[in-house]
Structure 1
Amino acid sequence: MRVGHLLLPSLTPSLCFSIPPIGSSILQSLYSCCFSSRRIYSLNRVTADMENTETKLMEKAKRPVNFRLCRVSGSMTEIMEIQAENPTFQVLFIPGNPGVVSFYMDFVESLNEFLDGNASIIAIGQISHTTKDWESGKLFSLQEQIDHKVDFIRQELESVKVPIILVGHSIGSYISLEILRKFSEKVVYCIGLYPFLTLNQQSTKQSLIGKLAASSVLSATASFLIASLRLLPMWAARPLVSNSIGASWSDTTVQAICTHLRQYHTMRNVLFMAMTEFRELAAEPDWEFMRENESKLAFLFGIDDHWGPLQLFEEISKQAPTTSLSIEREGHTHGFCCTVAGSAWVAQHVATQIKNRFSDHQ
């Protein structure tokens, strides 16, 4: 009994601590439930806030491309654009030749995303490089195409308060430089992609294209032959283009070829514009102008591009040494816009150039 009596005191404290009172257990359970519920609610609220923020950013960066027609100095013009709610700058994209804006839809969409939806982007087509012959067969020279873009800025961008950035592809780079002459105060940056700024006397392809474009008979014949493909319905034309000249091209490009380049008036204007390009670009670039504006200029060259050869890259680096120059080595071509991968890579490059430019001046 004594032993038992001695054991009880040693067991009782142990029992008291190991078996809590019923009331305490209930309070702890309630506290645990409340705390867990509050934590779950907080986590859910944080998760919801993050999802809402991410959704808003995605919606901001993935705005749909809008196509519209507008008259610029009397000429019907195809416009492709993405408008930002509160843009920090305005991008005006000038296409090459052919100057069909729908060729660049993948590029414009990618550029909008890489710029985080912070820019309004407008791509303006060349006159009469359109699905319909709005100009009744009239042919437009390079200078008329330049004047057309200048008139567009005066008509639609004159009141824009944010800085304007020009992005041009091929001959669009040359047009962008001419626009910069007219609007040196409004335009803060000019990016040329695979730029065609002067004739490449070493290029056999350019020589052949020049001879074709210079002959009105050959140009008309070539345009007629290409336009005769309009006899094919769209369901037959698309696979023909895809399987012949555009095996790796995007659906957007194939569609643009079928809707625009099978038009006689478009092909005639493509070749007529090319003829006037060859005449105008027989001279060297205006190096003095480029030196005066080299802080505003950036160019992207390709490895094997006869329109913008690497000897032009070297010449610019000598004549205007502080110009931002880059070489694309990823295997994309002068016609980068014809593939989704090419469009995305070049769009990311342009966005990086723009972001670096603006961060340097903040």
Structure 2
Amino acid sequence: MFLNLPSLTVRSINLPFFFSSVLWLPNCSFRLKKFSRSAFVHMGQEVLNPFSRWRAQFRLCNVSGYTNELLEIHADDPSLHVLFIPGNPGIVSFYKYFVESLYQLLGGRVSITAIGHLSQTTKDWEGGRLFSLQEQIDHKIEFVRQELQSKDIPLLLVGHSIGSYISIELYRKFQDRVVYCIGLHPFMMVNRQSRQQFLIGKLAGSRLLSTLFSSFVALLGVLPSRVSSFVVGKTIGKSWSRTASEAACTYLLKYHVMRNILFMALTEFEKLSETPDWGFMKKSSRKLSFLFCMDDHWAPMHVFEEISKQIPEMDVSVEREGHTHAFCCSEAGSLYIAQHVASLIKNHISD
């Protein structure tokens, strides 16, 4: 989740290089080393040329009778397909600049799909039904089976917040196809020291309170757009990009969306109260990478330290550039995280 915005942060723990386990990738190492001409280097970092950015396209997709939203860019001859799983809210519009930046940084050689969560959509396609964390996971599994059938194109998973947990569950199901899994600011364990999580848990755990809160934000949604935009801009979206503010006004101010955000959060707290599956992550450590940030109650430093202790060989980093857990709500944060992900992909999938 990223409704409460903390701050983010880069110390890398070097890992064993795992390219030897994915030598079967079709021409992947050659293609991923090619940079787009629309990217150049400035002070040691890649910078995007804003006049030649590719545009991600939105699409509705029906999986197992349920409708969800996709944000995607397809390469002409992809060497890899990146599937991005958002946090909660699981609204792909928030990640538009991130997806477009990542595509460009990878030279337009990799297809990217961001998949939204069920019933966190512009229309209430599911008639008010609430979906749990497990149901959202099952939906993503069915999506991969239905939409990403080609086994000739390797699959790489990237998840944000609770999307990191979902990505690991997807990897568990598709170990023969997934070549790498990247968790950004991963929500992996309940943080009992967080007052924000405590309050959200109380709100989500009460049907009355969650209904009242969702009704209140829905009332804001029926106000004239200039009024709702003003409210969002003065509250949660003070430093957000225009794209993020528009996504908030379009999605978050709807009753069915907010109810599903809170219900999913409730089931997240229930599931993540359990001890993480350290054994599976240790066994898969050469194909996993996590990025943490400072002052983040969803992915706090004590979880970073616990993972480093339990699985010292895993690639775990801390971002220290001052962005937030909600990196997707600013263009600077989206670009920075896209550069981090692109670097990981190039380092681990190319020689």
TM above 0.5, yes or no, is yes
- 1:233 has 2:242 as partner: no
Deviation at 1:315, TM superposition (A): 1.0
- 1:109 has 2:95 as partner: no
Deviation at 1:63, TM superposition (A): 2.4
- 1:95 has 2:86 as partner: yes
Task: Report if aligned partners of 1:171, 1:196 keep a CA contact under 8 Å in 2.
Answer: yes
**Greater share of residues in helix:** 1
The 5 Å alignment of 1:158-237 reads 158-237=149-228
State the alpha-carbon separation in 2 of the partners of residues 265 and 245 from structure 1. Answer: 19
SS of residue paired to 1:282: coil
Task: Report if aligned partners of 1:67, 1:78 keep a CA contact under 8 Å in 2.
Answer: yes
Paired residue type of 2:257: T
- Structure 2: gaps of 5 or more residues: 1-35, 41-48
Cα pair distance change 1:67/1:173, threshold 3 Å: same
The 5 Å alignment of 1:1-362 reads 54=37, 62-359=53-350, 362=351
SS of residue paired to 1:224: helix
SS of residue paired to 1:349: helix
Task: Report if aligned partners of 1:91, 1:165 keep a CA contact under 8 Å in 2.
Answer: yes
Deviation at 1:232, TM superposition (A): 1.2
Max Rg structure: 1
Task: Report if aligned partners of 1:80, 1:124 keep a CA contact under 8 Å in 2.
Answer: yes
TM-score, normalising length: structure 1: 0.82
Task: Report if aligned partners of 1:101, 1:124 keep a CA contact under 8 Å in 2.
Answer: yes
SS of residue paired to 1:236: helix
Deviation at 1:205, TM superposition (A): 1.0
Task: Report if aligned partners of 2:38, 2:53 keep a CA contact under 8 Å in 1.
Answer: no
State the alpha-carbon separation in 1 of the partners of residues 71 and 151 from structure 2. Answer: 18
Deviation at 1:54, TM superposition (A): 4.8
TM-score, normalising length: structure 2: 0.85
Task: Report if aligned partners of 1:62, 1:117 keep a CA contact under 8 Å in 2.
Answer: no
Task: Report if aligned partners of 2:66, 2:118 keep a CA contact under 8 Å in 1.
Answer: yes
Deviations 1:215-237 (A, max 9, x none): 11111011000110122122332
State the alpha-carbon separation in 2 of the partners of residues 94 and 324 from structure 1. Answer: 20
Paired residue type of 2:164: S
SS of residue paired to 2:118: coil
SS of residue paired to 1:118: coil
Paired residue type of 1:87: P
State the alpha-carbon separation in 2 of the partners of residues 101 and 220 from structure 1. Answer: 24
Paired residue type of 1:244: T
State the alpha-carbon separation in 2 of the partners of residues 316 and 55 from structure 1. Answer: 37
State the alpha-carbon separation in 2 of the partners of residues 129 and 114 from structure 1. Answer: 29
State the alpha-carbon separation in 1 of the partners of residues 146 and 170 from structure 2. Answer: 14
State the alpha-carbon separation in 1 of the partners of residues 133 and 119 from structure 2. Answer: 12
State the alpha-carbon separation in 2 of the partners of residues 140 and 100 from structure 1. Answer: 14
Deviations 1:303-357 (A, max 9, x none): 1101101111111111111111110000011101011100000000000011000
| Higher RCO (CA 8 Å, separation ≥ 6 residues) | 2
Deviations 1:85-137 (A, max 9, x none): 11111000000000000010011111111111111000000000011000000
Q: Which moved more, 1:110-119 or 1:133-142?
A: 110-119
State the alpha-carbon separation in 2 of the partners of residues 167 and 280 from structure 1. Answer: 20
Deviations 1:239-274 (A, max 9, x none): 331233212100110110111011100000000000
SS of residue paired to 2:122: coil
Q: How many residues align?
A: 308
SS of residue paired to 1:111: helix
Paired residue type of 1:103: F
State the alpha-carbon separation in 1 of the partners of residues 208 and 222 from structure 2. Answer: 22
Cα pair distance change 1:355/1:272, threshold 3 Å: same
Paired residue type of 1:341: A
CA RMSD of aligned residues (A): 1.8
